[in-house]
Amino acid sequence: MYRVFLVDDEPFIIEGLYDIIDWAAFGLEVVGAAENGQDALEALKESSADILLTDISMPVMDGLTLIREARQFRPDLKVIILSGFNEFDYIKSGLKLGVENYLLKPINIDELQETLANTIDKLNTTRPDRLFSDYDIRILRDNILYRWLTGRIAPNELIERTDMLEIRMDAPYLVTAIIRTESQFEPSYEAVQRLAMEDSSMLPFVDIDGDLVIVFMLEDKEQGKEKAISMLENMQKRFAPSPMRISLGSVEAVGEGAPQSYAHAKKAQEYFLLSDEPAILDYSLLSEKNSIENVTSQPLNWSLFSKLIKAKDLEQLHAAIDAEFEHYQTLDGVTPEYIQSMAIEMMIRFKMELKEIKQADQPELFKAGFTQIMQAETIEGLSSVVKEAATLTVDSLMRDVKSPIIQLLLGYVHENYAQALSLKSLSQQYNIHPVYLGHLFQKETNETFTEYINKYRIGKAKEMLKETNLKVQEIALQVGYWETGYFYKQFKKYVGISPTDYKGLL
């Protein structure tokens, strides 16, 4: 199992990476994370990480410096850059450092997973001591065809392997179909294999996602596609009433066009999330009617959800989730990928909201939900998963055994952090001795009141530095610091650099 280290100055990104990737399925283990390059460098000296996922712009030490320093003692370290900077100089610097890929935020999950798979392949080829099981003919065939359709096999190797396995690829065109079924998989696979025995223009295999893929080799674009659709329709009738979700990619020239046809078939398959399940989803028709390449970009308004969570109003919370999904369905050009990403973002925010309120992480509550989102095939299914996360969040808060006084105090601090706050004034408000209140606060939060309020204010200041054009002095006042010099001191204590330098990195 290879080891992965994550670096990003945004806790939200790190939390998301932990949750949205099934690391174990890739044979990977996340061994640590850091929020700046310096902390990451020190941790990498102690941990034997094989893959580094890092941001570029970070306080204390940026990502490019981290890569250069880490390579001093780990020259074989594989690096994947995650960055919000789509600038040539950054990309050029990253390529000079020999990184595996330069991925832009917001992160495309499929692209990240593909990059991880390619990186693992490189690690495997450089680790002769790793043990591999012997491929039988079917597994070898599936592997060769999958690598062909994902552009991960050299032309000379492809010719050699297809000759050995007697795979016919001499037609000028091809079209790719993907089949998913809720019934037992083996009968449909065996039926397709029998058809392929009779018709060598069909190349069936099972890809890394467990989908049944059929590549139809075509002598003529239009007639060949019509024949492929007819065969797929007959398969649907044969296996009725068991539902089969069949998607068809674009017709492409054999060779460099093969990966595009496969990618389009995958993309069309996602539209079963939004469709009424027609017989076959054809990418070319979806592209014309539904603006398949248009990605809607509208940020999630989390403030309402946050208030309902804190109020423990589960009924209204469920209603707000349903309304959010209904709203996004009405947007022009909305894609299944975007709806799914929104569901993942809501799950992560539920997790982080609970962590902020309870000052304790409970990832086990949400772990199954992330897997269910990736497997959901309807809008109702996605909404149901998110509502279950909301239920778990509120239930956890309802079972919370923390002092009700500290709960009230934390809520007051979060709403009024910009005001002058002290244990003395708060103790009068809650009618409790300030010394006892201080002991109780530290027991519940593992921090002194001063540490907690400073960290909270600095966190808010970081948000304002990123999201507004206010001057540093104005931000200091808005987060509760009347002395700019003291604000600078606290900011550097918790972030590692001054607020002016931090803003310069953004």
| Residue 380's pLDDT band (cuts 50, 70, 90) | confident
**So what's the pLDDT on residue 135?**
39
Ordered strands of the 51-54 beta sheet: 28-34, 2-7, 51-54, 78-83, 101-104
Least confident of 133-142, 282-291, 441-450: 133-142
Which of 408, 409, 421, 306 is closest to 355 using CA atoms? 306
Q: Is the pLDDT of residue 366 over 90?
A: no
Which of 42, 52, 62 is closest to 502 using CA atoms? 62
Q: Is the pLDDT of residue 289 over 70?
A: no
Residue 405 CB: number of other CB atoms within 10 A?
17
Local structure of residue 205 (DSSP, 8 states): E
Q: Is the pLDDT of residue 185 over 70?
A: no
Local structure of residue 361 (DSSP, 8 states): -
H or E segment to which residue 216 belongs: strand 212-218
Q: Is 411 helix (H, G, I), strand (E, B) or coil?
A: helix
H or E segment to which residue 202 belongs: strand 202-206
- pLDDT of 61-119, one tens digit each? 988 899 999 988 888 899 999 887 665 566 666 666 778 888 888 788 888 998 999 89
Please state whether beta strands 101-104 and 51-54 pair in parallel, antiparallel, or not at all (unpaired): unpaired
Q: Is the pLDDT of residue 220 over 90?
A: yes
| Residue 5 contacts residue 13 (beta carbons within 8 Å) | no
**So what's the pLDDT on residue 444?**
80
Angle between helices 423-430 and 404-416 (to 10 degrees): 130
Angle, alpha carbons 429-303-352 (nearest 5°): 85
Q: Is 80 helix (H, G, I), strand (E, B) or coil?
A: strand
- pLDDT of 311-332, one tens digit each? 888 999 999 999 988 887 777 6
Tell me what the pLDDT averaged over the chain comes to.
84
The DSSP secondary structure of 238-306, one letter per residue, reads HHTTS-EEEEE---EETTTTHHHHHHHHHHHHHGGGTS---SEEEHHHHHHHS-TT---------HHHH
Specify the higher pLDDT residue, 340 or 276.
340
| Residue 218 contacts residue 229 (beta carbons within 8 Å) | no
Structural domain boundaries in the chain = 2-125, 137-289, 303-398, 404-505
Beta-bridged to residue 214, according to DSSP, are 177, 204
Fold of 2-125: Rossmann fold (3.40.50)
Q: What percent of the chain stands above pLDDT 90?
A: 32
Query: CATH class for domain 404-505?
Result: mainly alpha
Q: Is the pLDDT of residue 128 over 50?
A: no
Between CA 169 and CA 343 the distance in angstroms is: 41
For 25-181, strand residue ranges (E) read 28-34, 51-54, 78-83, 101-104, 173-181
Between CA 393 and CA 255 the distance in angstroms is: 50
Q: How large is the average pLDDT for residues 185-204?
A: 79
pTM: 0.43
Specify the higher pLDDT residue, 223 or 196.
223
Q: Is the pLDDT of residue 182 over 70?
A: no
- pLDDT of 224-250, one tens digit each? 999 999 999 888 887 766 678 899 999
Can you give the length of the chain in residues?
506
Between CA 505 and CA 51 the distance in angstroms is: 25
Fold of 137-289: Alpha-Beta Plaits (3.30.70)
